[in-house]
Chains A and B, each alone.
Chain A
Amino acid sequence: MEILNEDLGMVAESAAGLLSQSHPITAFRALRDSGAALGYDKAIVGEMAEMGWMGIALPEDVDGADFGFRAAGLIAEEMGKNLTAGPFLSTAILAATVLRTAGGDTLAQWGPRIAGGDAVIALALEEGVKHRPNRIATTATKAADGTTLNGRKSFVVDGVDADRLIVAAKDGDALVLALVDPQTKGVSVTSQVMLDHRNTAVVSLDDALVPAEAIIAEGDAAQAALDATLRAGRAVAAAEQLGNAKAAAEQTFEYLRTRKQFGVLIGMFQALQHRAADLYCELEQTSSLVAEALNALDQGRDDAEALSRAAKAKAARVGRQATEEGVQMHGGIGMTDEMDLGLFMKRDRALSEFLGDAGHHTEWLLKQRGI
């Protein structure tokens, strides 16, 4: 039940067209089978830049398309449906929003490169196994000729082969966001291939000295930039997870319509019909919640924070339902690598952890309501 104006309708249509033709699930499979550590096809960055997607969250004066998060969510949803791998979330949403919120020279210098598809920038935020953006042990210490960074960052999505890393560190109580060249002495990037066959990096910072101009923001300004980035990132990630869940559900519904057992199509069985219809209803209301969160971001509304967290939590729950029901309703064949369900299930799991799981965001909402 999408209510899209003409412009948004065109974004959705072109995303569906490009991704299903040039970067469909079969392409992702081939990429995985090639064993490439990067986890995505480098050419996609240029293609997405050409479509205006890499600059979707950037202002026009740095060559951005400035098209808003609702549009970004539509693209992410199509990426989810097609299992398209590419540094859209990491660079076009997270890094771009950090730079845009912080402004200044870094935006002027790196904005056009992101928008042009010439730079991949990864956010090095996490340190533990769960998303805890307020628990940062990495330190930023002022030195005569810049700032010295020390610490260890994990789950750095698209950190492998990134042109720059945005490192979150603490100088005392103050948050510091630094744009770090991974070639800097003292920085080591270890590549990991995750269960969803995407890359994440572990980044070690051992007395890594970065120049003064590498500091994007400090203190309240840095916190504001990080908060805005996470707010947007969660809603867009929820959109991708929703797309992933919708595709898993659609394949499952199609299976129910065509698979015969006991001499009948298994979609005749009411036990399966009702579970399928319940899943459909959950996907529908999650769609509306995700859209509402993205609209709230674009409109700068006060409830954008709560909505984007709720959207992330709900997408994780419905994503789990869709992929688990998908495998179960397919039966044995659902467990095979030949079917796409396993790919959806693995991507769903990774997206659930990325930028905070359902429990993390539900906890925030409970505190916001005063309990």
Chain B
Amino acid sequence: MTDLETFREETRNWLKANCPPEMREPMGEDDICWGGRKFEFSSPAQKQWLEVNAERGWTVPAWPKAYGGGGLSGPEQKVLAEEMKRINARPPLQSFGIWMLGPALLHFGSEEQKRHYLPQIARGEIRWCQGYSEPGAGSDLASLQTKGVDKGDHFEVTGQKIWTSYADKADWIFCLVRTEPDEKKHTGISFLLFDMETEGVSTKPIKLISGASPFCETFFDAVKVPSEQIVGERGQGWTIAKYLLTHEREMIGGSDSAIFAKSDLISDAAQAIGLDDAGRLDDPMMRAELGEFIVDEMAFDAHVAMTRAYMRAGNELGARSAELKYLGTELNKQRQSLRVAAGGADDLVWEGGSNDAGQAAKDWLRSKANSIEGGTSEVMLSILSKAILKMPG
């Protein structure tokens, strides 16, 4: 037996022994384990599943063991993912720390920072949020104005962030702050980490068209951030931010992305609309649209798999993360539009009736943000046209 086959057998046995039955059920948005100081586990099984994985480093299987990861090789990660999928095991932990901050710290953090912050992320102890956008700095993120004034042993941070996902539930923030006001816009930014309980930090949820409030406005009033909580050098913030954004885009674009509400669109449509005598969906125009969607979804799934293999082979995705982000989010918008169209009047119901009343409509509305958050589709196309296609200007 090869080492990989042995690993597969051990993994299979370990999952069998350790993954509680409840953690093999299909999950909704409410079943995600985000971790953090304020997180309330939805069941003892969820807590147990997090703990056994954290113990083994399998909340972040690719990270080095020294920082709380599993230290698995590319092929081993693939085996673990396959074995998890085989029994429908839920991800034990999902977080911005895993998807975004972790990779940035692994790349740019000091040894001390890695040893301090990464294990807390891996164990789900600290939940992070991202302080990037500002009211005056959306697509033009680098024009951000939140100030960080050097006060010797600390930076004094003052300003406002917006679209801070789950800021009201997060413990710490990674934040872009202008510390070098005399530098050009891209070179005057630093990347700071601080506790959301620090004096001067406040948050206010923003109610969205879906009725939910996953985003906040976040205010900083003379917040004291110790100098050692800067990642990288002063003025290096934009470089780190861009690196982190490529990971965010991979995450948003990935076909199993946590922000895409997946459902069996085709069987739901068959159920809602019914079939004609020839066994075809009794709505020829929608059927044709679903056909195109099926082909596009197969293409995208193949592309995600190919991209993962490319990265496991040790390649950096770089600007190409914009490609996944663009394709994945536009596809999800199409999925959600078709889903509510198939649901018809049923999916106009907002409240009342069944338990999941309004869910399809809310998912549909939520999906409209997919092609805005993490960089709009238009920003993605601009990045690709310059970085890959080498268009002038």
Q: A309-323: which have CB < 8 Å to B?
A: 310, 313-314, 317
Per-residue B-contact encoding for A344-370, CB less than 8 Å = 1, 0 else: 000000000000001001110111011
Chain B residues contacting A286 (CB-CB under 8 Å) are 299
Enumerate B269-291 residues with CB–CB distance to A below 8 Å: 269-270, 275, 279-281, 287-288, 290-291
Interface flag for B44 (CB, 8 Å) = no
The answer to whether A291 and B302 touch across the interface, beta carbons within 8 angstroms, is yes
Which single member of B294, B327, B378 contacts A285 (CB below 8 Å)? Answer: B327
Asked if A265 contacts B385 (CB within 8 A), the reply is no
State the Cβ distance, A288 to closest chain B Cβ, in Å.
Answer: 4
Assess whether B306 is in contact with A3, with CB atoms less than 8 Å apart: yes
Interface members, chain B 351-393 (any A CB < 8 Å): 378, 380-382, 384-386, 388-393
Task: Tell me if A's interface is mostly helix, strand, loop or mixed.
Answer: helix
Count, chain B residues at interface, CB 8 A: 44
* A273: contacting residue among B291, B298, B310, B391, CB under 8 A: B391
Whether the pair B302, A288 counts as a contact (CB closer than 8 A) is yes
CA distance in complex: A288, B299 (Å)? 7
In Å, the complex CA distance between A317 and B307 comes to 22
Task: Determine whether the beta carbon of A288 is less than 8 Å from that of B306.
Answer: yes
CB neighbours (8 Å) of B300 from chain A are 285
Beta-carbon contact of A306 and B326 below 8 Å: no
Q: Which residue of B lies closest to A296 (CB)?
A: B302
Residue-by-residue, is A254-291 near B (CB-CB < 8 Å gives 1, otherwise 0)? Answer: 00110000001101101001101110110011111101
B114 interfacial contact with A, CB 8 Å: no
Q: A314-B296, A362-B292, A370-B267 are in contact. Are A292 and B306 (CB under 8 A)?
A: yes
CA distance A285 to B306 in the complex (A): 9
Interface residues on A, range: 35 or more
Q: Among residues 13 to 57 in chain B, which have CB atoms less than 8 Å away from a CB atom of chain A?
A: none
- Quick check: B291 and A362 within 8 Å, CB to CB? yes
A155 interface contact, C-beta 8 A: no
- Which residues of B lie under 8 Å from residue A257 when comparing CB positions? 390-392
User: What CA separation (Å) do A319 and B392 show in the bound complex?
Assistant: 25
Within the complex, which residue of B294, B306, B307, B326 is in contact with A362, where a contact is CB–CB below 8 Å? B294
Neighbouring A residues of B209 by C-beta, 8 Å? none
**Known contacts being A3-B313, A257-B390, A288-B305, is A277 close to B384, with CB within 8 Å?**
yes
Asked whether A69 is an interface residue with its Cβ less than 8 Å from the other chain, the reply is no
**Smallest CB-CB separation from A1: which chain B residue?**
B310
**In the complex, B303 has a CB within 8 A of chain A:** yes
A265 touches B392 (CB 8 A): yes
Question: CB within 8 A of B389: which of A270, A277, A363?
Answer: A277
The distance from the CB of A293 to the nearest CB of chain B, in whole angstroms, is 8
In the complex formed, the residue of B with least CB distance to A278 is: B381
* Cα–Cα distance between A276 and B323 once the two chains are bound (Å): 12
Is B310 touching A3 in the complex (CB atoms < 8 A)?
A: yes
Given A1-B320, A273-B385, A371 contacting B299 (CB threshold 8 A): no
Instruction: Determine the distance from Cα of A358 to Cα of B388 in the docked complex, in whole angstroms.
Output: 29
Are the C-beta atoms of B382 and A292 separated by less than 8 Å?
Answer: no
- Cα A289 to Cα B378 in complex, Å, equals 25
- Bound complex: CA A317 to CA B294 (Å): 13
Residues in B neighbouring A40, C-beta threshold 8 A: none
Cβ-closest chain B residue relative to A293: B302
Residue on A nearest B307 in the bound complex, by CB: A1
Q: Does B141 contact A (CB under 8 A)?
A: no
Do B384 and A310 touch across chains, with their CB atoms under 8 A apart?
no
**Minimal beta-carbon separation of A281 from chain B (angstroms):** 5
How many angstroms from the CA of A267 to the CA of B296 in the assembled complex? 28
Q: Is A248 an interface residue (CB 8 A)?
A: no
A267, A276, A285, A370: most-surrounded residue (chain B CB, <10 A): A285
B380: nearest chain-A partner, CB-CB: A277
Tell me the minimal C-beta distance from A312 to chain B in angstroms. Answer: 10
Given the known inter-chain contacts A366-B290, A366-B291, please indicate yes or no for A276 contacting B298, CB distance below 8 A: no
Q: Beyond A265-B392, A268-B391, A371-B266, is A363–B291 a contact (Cβ under 8 Å)?
A: yes
A313 touches B389 (CB 8 A): no
* B295 on interface, CB distance cutoff 8 Å: yes
- A253 interface residue (CB < 8 Å to B): yes
A280 touches B388 (CB 8 A): yes
Judged by a CB distance under 8 angstroms, whether B309 is at the interface is yes
With beta carbons under 8 angstroms apart, the residue of A276, A280, A287, A366 that contacts B294 is: A366
Q: Which residues of A contact B280 (CB under 8 A)?
A: 366-367, 371
A99 at interface, CB cutoff 8 A = no
Known contacts A273-B391, A276-B385, A285-B300; A369 and B294 CB within 8 A of each other = yes
B residues lining the A interface (CB < 8 Å): 266-267, 269-270, 275, 279-281, 287-288, 290-292, 294-296, 298-300, 302-303, 305-307, 309-310, 313, 320, 323, 326-327, 378, 380-382, 384-386, 388-393
What are 10 A-B pairs at a CB distance below 8 A? A1-B306, A265-B392, A273-B381, A281-B384, A288-B305, A365-B294, A366-B281, A369-B266, A370-B266, A371-B290
| Other contacts beyond A270-B382, A278-B326, A371-B269: 9, CB < 8 A | A264-B392, A267-B393, A268-B392, A277-B380, A284-B303, A291-B302, A310-B298, A362-B288, A371-B266
Q: Which 9 A-B pairs have the closest CB atoms?
A: A273-B385, A268-B393, A362-B291, A288-B303, A292-B302, A285-B303, A288-B306, A277-B381, A277-B384
